Amino acid sequence: MAVVPAVLRSEWTKIRSVRSTVWTLSLAVLITVALGVLISALTNNNFSRMPASEQITFDATYTSFAGMSLGQLLMIVFGVLVVSNEYSTGMIRASLAAVPQRGTFLFSKIAVATLLAFVVGEITAFIAFFAGQASLGSHSAHISDPGVLRAVFGGGLYLTLISVFAMGCAAMLRSPLLSLAILMPFFFLISNILHAVSATRHVANYLPDQAGQKVMMVVTTGDSRPYGPWIGLLIMALWVIAALVGGYAVLKERDA
Gap between the Cα atoms of 241 and 234, Å rounded: 10
pLDDT at 226: 92
Gap between the Cα atoms of 101 and 110, Å rounded: 14
pLDDT at 183: 96
pTM of the complete model: 0.93
- Which residue type is seen at 3? V
In order along the chain (256 residues), what is the average pLDDT of each group of 10 residues?
Answer: 78 84 93 97 94 91 96 96 83 78 88 96 98 95 96 98 97 93 95 93 96 95 90 98 95 76
Q: Do residues 180 and 170 make contact, with C-beta atoms less than 8 angstroms apart?
A: no
Return the closest-CA partner of residue 72 out of 182, 156, 134, 197.
Answer: 156
Provide the residue ranges of all domains of the chain, joining segments of one domain with +: 4-253
pLDDT at 1: 47
